[in-house]
Amino acid sequence: MSKSKIFLIAQSALCVLIAVLLSASALRIFLEGSAWQAAGHPSDWIYTREKAAGALAPILPLILASIVMTIIGLVKGIRDEDADKPVRDAEISRDLIAARVPQPSPEMVREQALQKKLRIGGWIGFAVCMVPIFLYVTNADHFAQTDAAGLDQNIVALIAFIVPWTIAGLACPVITTVLQEKSMLRETDAANAAIKAEKAAPAQGDAKAPAQVQAQNADVAAAQVQAAAAQNAAKAPAPLNSISPETARRRILLRRVLMAAAVLFIVLGIFNGSMKDVLIKAIKICTECVGLG
């Protein structure tokens, strides 16, 4: 493993650690603030500048270290060497090789049936894991307590119930996708074996008509042209304004994480009364601005 690869892994691990610590600090401030409000101080703010500064103080060295590593990486030009390389797609490789086989072998048919079962089973497993979550959030008894302490208990119970089922639900399509890829690789090997067996078979002029032989050769030639075009396209330098599939996947994952964090903090803000405070301030500002206050 190269030094640049180790540097990038360390930088990524540091960023993940900072994100986890920040999330844990925000949750700790919310729980402590909610308990303080429930103890007889309902007008006190949960999130304050002092609390945020106190939570950031232990994490500040890690944040500074992450910034320094980012600057060092930019100055030295450290980047992922595999970022611009085409991502190997087992499905595309399988399709290109299988197109050269006139009649799929029994091994290929068996692997195709297995891939279909895995794909359906993964989504069924995800749907089954989502059913308990739906039943939980639609049960009003789980949210019957409306005081501050009760809301905290509801939120903690909700998170404790949803997170394991969500992890299990997401694990189902992930595991089945990995198994599908392995099955596609086995199907590709079976297709290559069928092609080799066909080439090794002695030519029988009486078995096939000249027209059939020409048609089969044309199909094989067309498949070879498609495979060569795909390889040339993969080797061609990417335009300046294009991004690699891996970068696109990372951006999609980052957007999903940010969306989940935004939804979590919106829910926390609704439960701790911040939404009502913001609404009251907005009403006062609007009425004062138009001269009604």
**Residue ranges per structural domain of the chain:** 1-82, 87-203, 247-293
Q: What is the pLDDT of residues 83-137, one digit of tens each?
A: 666 666 788 888 888 888 888 888 989 999 999 999 999 999 999 999 998 998 8
Give the pLDDT band of residue 218 (cuts 50, 70, 90).
Answer: low
Written as six digits, the tokens of 254 are 């980052």
Tens of pLDDT along 34-80?
777 777 777 778 778 888 888 889 999 999 999 999 898 888 888 77
Amino acid letter for position 197: A
Residue 98: name the closest of 88, 115, 112 by CA.
112
| Predicted model pTM | 0.48
Place of tokens 């059913």: 131
Q: Residue 212: which of 102, 128, 293, 136 has the closest Cα? A: 102
- Angle at which helices 49-76 and 3-38 cross, to 10°: 170
Q: For residue 140, what is the DSSP state? A: G
Dihedral angle, C-alpha 225, 228, 229, 232, nearest 10 ° = -160
- The pLDDT of 6-11, averaged and rounded, is 88
d(CA 14, CA 11) in angstroms, rounded, equals: 5
Say which DSSP state 203 is in: P
Amino acid at 277: D
- DSSP state for residue 143 in the 8-state scheme: G
Q: Determine the Cα–Cα distance for residues 275 and 2; give it in Å rounded to an integer.
A: 50
